[in-house]
Amino acid sequence: MRTFVSEFREFARRGSAIDLAVAIVVAVALGKIVDSIVNDLIAPVLAGLLGKADLSGLFIPLASPPAVPPTLEAFKRAGVPVIAYGSFIGVALNVAILALVLFVVVRQINRQRRGRPE
């Protein structure tokens, strides 16, 4: 029976580990690009349509607010429970765009594999 270390050594020698490392680096960079697209392009447009300056500041307080400025940060510092639906919208957009991009990439890879004889 092969040991874990010998199996890992074989895996690393095949080049799969390098492919995995490259994929992780590309995914991190892609995540940053998607964050920028959502935060710098899409969110300001949505905020403008909703008449708000920033989507991440949208929230619903779940308790009577104390005498603090009506901002998300102030409510959180005061310990008021809030539903921060603006932040959720931003994260949901990030995930949706990232999923779409990954779908397109995987789809293209699958198309190329189908066209190539094995």
Helix (H) or strand (E) holding 107: helix 85-115
Instruction: Average the pLDDT over each of 7-21, 32-46, 74-88, 104-118 and give the range with the smallest value.
Output: 7-21
Beta strands 82-83 and 60-61, pairing class: antiparallel
Measured between its terminal Cα atoms, the distance across the chain in Å is 31
The model's pTM is 0.60
At residue 117, does pLDDT exceed 60? no
Domain topology for 4-115: 1.10.1200
Which tens digit of pLDDT belongs to each residue from 41-70?
888 888 788 777 677 778 888 888 778 888
Map out the domains of the chain as residue ranges: 4-115
Q: How far apart are CA 6 and CA 43, in angstroms?
A: 49
pLDDT given for residue 10 in this prediction: 72
